[in-house]
Amino acid sequence: MHSNWKSPPGSPWELIVPAAMLLVTFGLPFTGVVDCYPFSGAPMFNESPRTYCEYTAFDGKGTVLPLDLLGLQRNDNGNPPGHGHGRKPKFSIDRLGKVSTKGQIEAAVLQSLKLNPFEVHGFVTVKVRVIKDLDGNQIGEDPNLSWIQVVKLP
């Protein structure tokens, strides 16, 4: 099939660019740098969470409050946070694999409302649903671990 091959053979410098690109792609994670676009250690979904929390928040009148104003929004998108993005995400205590304490939730709500002045009637009610393994076959809300807490505003 290559009997009519007339192209001149390549010189070693043809390999310089691909070799450099591949060397960085392969070697970057060894330096401790997880992500430096366009190079990456491909850390997507490398964490394996077994639990997480679903938050809902209301004010004293029963109005649903945006979670990102209370520091309870989900920043996770499957990639380990902190790597491969140039800005820090908006503050949140939500993290896949972790269940925050009542104290952490209260502190997050108070701190966030201080930073994001927002009209809240009376107090903030936070409903925390803890999702985990239920029966060895499915995941769902564990009612024994879930709770509702009221954060009183100063």
Task: Decide: 79 and 49 in contact? Cβ < 8 Å.
Answer: no
Taking the CB of residue 122, how many other CB atoms lie within 10 A of it? Answer: 11
Between residues 53 and 113, which has the closer beta carbon with respect to another protein? 53
Among 31, 60, 63, 85, binds another protein (CB under 8 A): 85
Under the binding rule (CB under 8 A), the answer on residue 145 touching another protein is no
Among 66, 83, 104, 127, binds another protein (CB under 8 A): 83
Under the binding rule (CB under 8 A), the answer on residue 118 touching another protein is no
Q: Which of 124, 127, 119 is nearest to 53 (CA)?
A: 127
The span from the CA of 86 to the CA of 76, in Å, is 15
User: Where does this chain touch another protein (CB under 8 A) — which range of 9-17, 57-65, 106-114, 122-130?
Assistant: 9-17
Sign of CA dihedral 40, 87, 71, 77: negative
Residues near another protein (CB under 8 A) = 1-2, 4-12, 14-15, 17-18, 21-22, 25-26, 29, 33-52, 74-90, 96, 131-133, 136-139
